[in-house]
Amino acid sequence: MPQVFSNGQKVYLIYYVADWDKDSIFNIKSLSDSPVDTQLIALVEFDGYTFRFGIANDEVFAGLPLYKEGLTDWAHIIENSIWIEEIKQIHKIHPYFSPLHWTKRNHYVLLFKDEILEVIASGYTIEVYNSSYKEIGLEVLNRMNHL
């Protein structure tokens, strides 16, 4: 159940941590003292604002253009991204365009059961919380609005 938030400066992703991944997490945070209805939820903050979400589910991943290039596991960084090149072409008409700006960008692809998230960003951070979707969603809104 991934959810995506964006404010034009950052992209935020929240999702339930898979059972098979729970044992590898050491720094789990909490937003409240209420242990009711909490689960491990990851909060990813991307330093970038361009994203695509949805696109396809796991039943049709084999039809994705990047699938034959090895897009099979759940998390990827795409080298020589066509999407980044397309965006660079759009921005080339700007009077202050700098190709160096784009060398700091990565194309991230995350495959979920029913969605795909693609983000172009310069980096990301991941935090894991023992919380609820509502609390994490409010945390994201606070970060987006600097509250």
- pLDDT tens string 39-68: 889 999 999 879 999 877 778 777 777 777
Q: What is the pTM of this model?
A: 0.84
Domain housing 39: 3-144
For 116, phi then psi, to 5°, come to -125, 140
Return the pLDDT at 107: 93
SS3 42: strand
Q: Report, as an integer, the average pLDDT of 27-46.
A: 77
User: Measured between alpha carbons, how far is 43 from 140 in angstroms, rounded to an integer?
Assistant: 8
5 pLDDT higher than 90:
yes
Return the pLDDT at 15: 92
| Single-letter amino acid code for the residue at 38 | T
Return the pLDDT at 64: 75
Based on the structure, what is the number of domains in the chain? 1
142 pLDDT higher than 80:
yes
CB–CB of 26/14 below 8 Å? Answer: no
